[in-house]
Structure 1
Amino acid sequence: MTHFDPLYSLAGVLVGLLVGMTGVGGGSLMTPLLVLVFGFHPATAVGTDLLYASATKAVGTAVHGAGGTVDWKVVRRLAIGSVPATLVTLLALAALGTHLESTGRVISLTLGVALIATAVAIFFRRRIVEYFTNDRPPRPERQVAVLTIVLGAVLGVLVSLSSVGAGALGMTVLLILYPRLPTNRLVGSDIAHAVPLTLIAGVGHWVLGSIDFVLLGSLLLGSVPGIVVGSLVATRVPDRVLRPVLAGTLAIVGGKLVL
């Protein structure tokens, strides 16, 4: 367990600002920051971020649910794949030992790959979605259901190992699978699915001993006001400037973790 350090709260403010301005999940920014800058073990960084994400996404789900922008059929399909995959991944981590050097390397490698994939999804999302949807006949409903479950399983493994993937990556694939659903309903569904996913994975990491509650409190102390301020100034910063800068940063950090 760490001691309180104002720098952790400052990091929370910076990440909160970026989350508020870009909408990118905090795990894509906070987890590599904890590993590379503050030197936390990858398992501790991932576990702490997961528990933090479950709380913040629960609030987001309540907002989207009240506004009717959650498609619970999509959420169920994702959860059918993600919950078992998360449990299996946690059991594998327990068998390996979360704080071993080899386990840390596996988590760092997964985090790096997930960050690079997230950078690609952020920068090329429109082109990717158009490539898979333009001039193509609608997929059969059964195929869509199966692919959604598979997506949930992939996200379950990725999020449990890296705390990254449920946001930019999940949304990109959902836009391909459900081109006729309004984007706000897909966003709401993605956030709603992230609640049980991050909660189960976070509690699993807690049981495995990879949660730092002092760090968690410090991050929340800074990130909550940071997200509020970032959301307020988001409209003043051009998306064409933020998107390539953010994608490039994630790609560089992901490459460093992989190498």
Structure 2
Amino acid sequence: MEWVLLVLLGMAASSLGSLIGLGGGIIVVPALLYLGTLHGFDHITPQVAVGTSLFTMIFTGLSSTLSYMKHKTVDYKSGLLFLIGSGPGSILGAWVTESLNLKSFNIFFGLFIILVSIILTLKNKLKPIPYRKDKGIVRTFTDNTGTTFEYGFNPIAGILISFVVGFLSGIFGVGGGSLMVPAMILIFFFPPHVAVATSMFMIFPSSVLSSITHVALGNVNWLYAFALIPGAWMGAKVGVYLNTRLKSKTIVILLRTILVIVGVRLIYQGFFG
């Protein structure tokens, strides 16, 4: 029964994560912490929840990237540039996680989840910051309807922002897409579908790097990880399918509501648990 729950968890988290570029860890980590309190499941520390989540996201990121490659929506050059920042950031974040106890982790992670829900609320209402073509990298993208988008960014700003995103990803095991997708859309003028696909492309190598650190620290529950991986692999493909065919507004509203509830619960546990 425990394995069935973990497979379904991996599928649900990965489907939502791939749909809007979050990576799925923002659902997996609190779910693992909760399951660790139930009879029949091993006790799970925040470090093990984060390490197991990040290891699982290697497969979410790979599966999503392979699917998005077929739709030609991944900006490889920008993604590799952002990795210059997010790679070291994710490794540093993984080490910082070791210093957090359960109560501190619950409070900080709860606040982070609520921040993500606020970002999801505002991202469709905010307009991208105009960019100057002579001040950085310029990209063009033509979607399936033949519409051409032009976007661009300052490479130094891109690396610095991705470092912060990678750092938070390494601490909380969330993949970084929850912050990187809005940043790419609002600051760097990315078309939404390209931002989501490029975010998933970045999640794969950054999860590998931070997972190596967590494996070295003994922060991966291998039984749970291998139960989550099949669901994560299949769920990622479902999320990509929905992303290319559906408007994700309803899903975002549902996810936003869930995040607020989970975030408040974690903060409460951190203070009073």
Question: Aligning the two structures, in what range does the TM-score lie when normalised by the shorter sequence?
Answer: 0.7 to 0.9
Residue of structure 2 equivalent to 1:214:
223
Structure 2 partner of 1:83: 87
Q: Which has the higher strand share?
A: 2
Relative to structure 2, which stretch is displaced further, 75-84 or 205-214? 75-84
- The answer for the alignment partner of 1:248 in structure 2 is 257
Partner of 1:200: 209
Question: Residue 99 of structure 1 corresponds to which residue in structure 2?
Answer: none
Aligned mates of 2:91, 2:247 — CA distance in 1: 40
Among candidates 116, 123, 145, match of residue 118 of structure 1: 116
Distance 2:68 2:55 in 1: 20
Q: Which amino acid aligns with 2:123?
A: R
Matched, 1:167 2:171: no
Percent identity between the aligned chains?
22
Q: Distance in 1 between matches of 2:237 and 2:66?
A: 17
Alignment pair present for 1:43 and 2:42:
no
The structure richer in helix per residue is 1
Instruction: Quote how far apart the aligned CAs of 1:26 are.
Output: 1.3
* 2:23 counterpart letter in structure 1: G
1:8, distance to aligned residue in structure 2 (A): 2.4
- In structure 2, how many angstroms separate the alpha carbons of the residues matched to 1:236 and 1:64? 13
Structure 2: which 5+ residue stretches go unaligned?
A: 38-43, 138-152, 269-273
CA deviation string 1:117-138 (max 9, x = no partner):
221222221113x1x43xx453
Which deviates further from its counterpart, 200-209 or 59-68?
59-68
Residues 6, 73 of structure 1: alpha-carbon distance in 2 compared, 3 angstrom cutoff: closer
Q: Secondary structure at the match of 1:127?
A: coil
CA deviations 1:146-185 (Å, max 9, x no partner) are 2211211111111111122622321111112322x44333
Aligned residue pair count? 246
Aligned to 1:30: 28
Equivalent in the alignment of 1:150: 160
TM-score of the superposition, structure 1-length normalised? Answer: 0.79
Separation in 1 of the partners of 2:239 and 2:247? 13
Structure 1 counterpart of 2:132: 138
Distance 1:121 1:211, change over 3 A: same
Q: After superposition, what is the alpha-carbon deviation per residue over 1:14-73, rounded to whole angstroms, capped at 9, x for unaligned?
A: 435545766643112111111124332111111111011012212322333455433233
What does the per-residue CA deviation read over 1:221-255, in whole Å, with 9 as the maximum and x for residues that have no partner?
Answer: 44444555677778998744432221011012112
Q: Is the 8 A contact 1:4 1:214 kept in 2?
A: no
Runs of at least 5 residues in structure 1 that lack an aligned partner in the other structure: 97-101
Distance, in Å, in 1 between the alignment partners of 2:155 and 2:244 is 36
Distance 1:76 1:236 in 2: 27
Tell me the equivalent position of 2:41.
Answer: none
- Give the 3 Å change call, closer, same or farther, for CA 153–41 of structure 1 in structure 2: same
Tell me if the contact between 1:118 and 1:165 (Cα under 8 Å) persists in the aligned partners: no
In structure 2, C-alpha distance between the alignment counterparts of 1:235 and 1:74, rounded to whole Å: 21
Instruction: Tell me the equivalent position of 2:67.
Output: 63
Q: Given the superposition, is the C-alpha separation of residues 226 and 75 from structure 1 closer, same or farther in structure 2, using an over 3 Å criterion? A: closer
Q: Which of 190, 196, 210 in structure 2 is aligned with 1:187?
A: 196
Cα displacement (A) at 1:103: 3.2
Give the aligned residue type for 2:111. Answer: V
Over the residues paired in the alignment, what is the CA RMSD in angstroms? 3.1
2:76 is aligned, of 53, 72, 88, to 72
Pick closer, same or farther for the CA change 1:93–1:150 going to 2, 3 Å.
same
What is the distance in 2 between the residues matched to 1:84 and 1:222? 28
Following TM superposition, by how much is the alpha carbon of 1:107 offset from its aligned partner in structure 2, in angstroms? Answer: 3.3
Q: CA contact under 8 A between 2:20 and 2:196: conserved in structure 1?
A: no
AA aligned to 2:154 is V
